[in-house]
A and B are shown apart, each in its own frame.
Chain A
Amino acid sequence: SQQGEEDPQALSIQEGENATMNCSYKTSINNLQWYRQNSGRGLVHLILIRSNEREKHSGRLRVTLDTSKKSSSLLITASRAADTASYFCATSLSGGGNKLTFGTGTQLKVEL
């Protein structure tokens, strides 16, 4: 079964607006990562947050992690049409080595 479930499954916003997507997971983690996938292409790593971190920033990306609720959120500020893609969370489990377990993804569409 999937470790991560993402919400919403799909999100449509206007350019310039902020986009927020959420990820929930089931078991203890070492870290949580977010990846981006353009249609039919390979995934690209965006940002990693460790289990002892609560918030992390990278450019227009802001990730939060709440280990008590087993959840994370990805905020993309001032979205652009080029941000249109699917976004996946992935968890590295405690004791799981380098393996990642991916969520089901959020499809983001940013319209002009």
Chain B
Amino acid sequence: DADVTQTPRNRITKTGKRIMLECSQTKGHDRMYWYRQDPGLGLRLIYYSFDVKDINKGEISDGYSVSRQAQAKFSLSLESAIPNQTALYFCATSEPGLRESIQYFGAGTRLSVL
């Protein structure tokens, strides 16, 4: 089984719909992240959480919200999806510590907003 699991793997939705992308991990890491990837733009950080009670906005948080239900679960919601949120979304985890920051990624969720 994958250490970082994202569901669903693919999702097609319509403009204005609310959707949730889920991430769960078995690595025991405190730190979790949500990124989106667009062609030619690399990965951009949406939200991150350093523990269950800590939620922080990333570079591009507008239009998104998150919930850290437990150490192992971190969900990303699009309250009212719009077409320019069509992208590949990744969840990642890392161990605590200021200097070492290797991240472990899920397989991604491909989202299309029509």
What are 28 residue pairs bridging A and B, where the CB atoms are less than 8 Å apart in the complex? A4-B42, A30-B98, A30-B99, A31-B99, A33-B101, A41-B107, A41-B108, A42-B4, A42-B90, A42-B105, A42-B107, A43-B43, A43-B90, A43-B92, A92-B99, A97-B50, A98-B50, A98-B96, A98-B98, A99-B45, A99-B58, A100-B45, A101-B45, A102-B44, A104-B40, A104-B41, A104-B42, A105-B42
Q: Does B12 contact A (CB under 8 A)?
A: no
Residues on B close to A: CB < 8 A? Answer: 4, 31, 33, 35, 40-45, 48, 50, 58, 88, 90, 92, 94, 96-108, 110
Q: Does A44 contact B (CB under 8 A)?
A: yes
Chain B residue nearest in CB terms to A105: B42
Residues of A within 8 A of B104 (CB): 45
Cβ contacts A29-43/B at 8 Å (1 or 0 each): 011010000001111
Residues of A within 8 A of B45 (CB): 99-101
- The answer to whether B100 touches A103, judged by C-beta atoms less than 8 angstroms apart, is no
Q: Does A2 contact B (CB under 8 A)?
A: yes
Chain A, range 75-112, C-beta contacts under 8 Å to B: 88, 90, 92, 97-105
- The answer to whether B96 touches A88, judged by C-beta atoms less than 8 angstroms apart, is no
- The answer to whether B106 touches A48, judged by C-beta atoms less than 8 angstroms apart, is no
B58, B101, B110: the one within 8 Å of A92 (CB): B101
- The answer to whether A44 touches B105, judged by C-beta atoms less than 8 angstroms apart, is yes
Most central of A41, A42, A48 by chain B CB within 10 Å: A42
| Bound-state Cα–Cα, A45 to B99, Å | 16
Residues of A within 8 A of B50 (CB): 97-98
- The answer to whether A99 touches B101, judged by C-beta atoms less than 8 angstroms apart, is yes
New A-B pairs, 5, CB < 8 Å, besides A42-B107, A43-B105, A99-B58: A31-B100, A40-B110, A43-B103, A88-B42, A90-B103
Separation in Å of the B95 CB from the closest CB of chain A?
8
| Bound-state Cα–Cα, A43 to B102, Å | 11
